[in-house]
Structure 1
Amino acid sequence: MRPISRLVAAVAVVLVLGGCADEPDRPAVCDSYDSVQASADDLRNANVSENGLSQVRTDLEDLRHALVQLVDDARAQYATEVDTIEKAAADLRTAVTAARADPGPMTLSAVGDAAAWLRETVHRLGTAMADTC
Structure 2
Amino acid sequence: MLVDPRYTRDRAAMCDKCNQIDRKIERYRTLSSRITDQLTIDGIAKLVEELLAEKFGLHPEIHLVRVIPDNGRRQFWQAATDRDEALDRVLDVIPEGWAASLEERRLSADHMAELDKKPGEVRRYQVS
Alignment TM-score, normalising by the size of structure 1: 0.34
- When Rg is computed on C-alpha atoms for both structures, the one with the higher figure is 2
Which structure would you say has the larger RCO, counting Cα contacts within 8 Å and 6 or more residues apart? 1
Which is richer in strand? 2
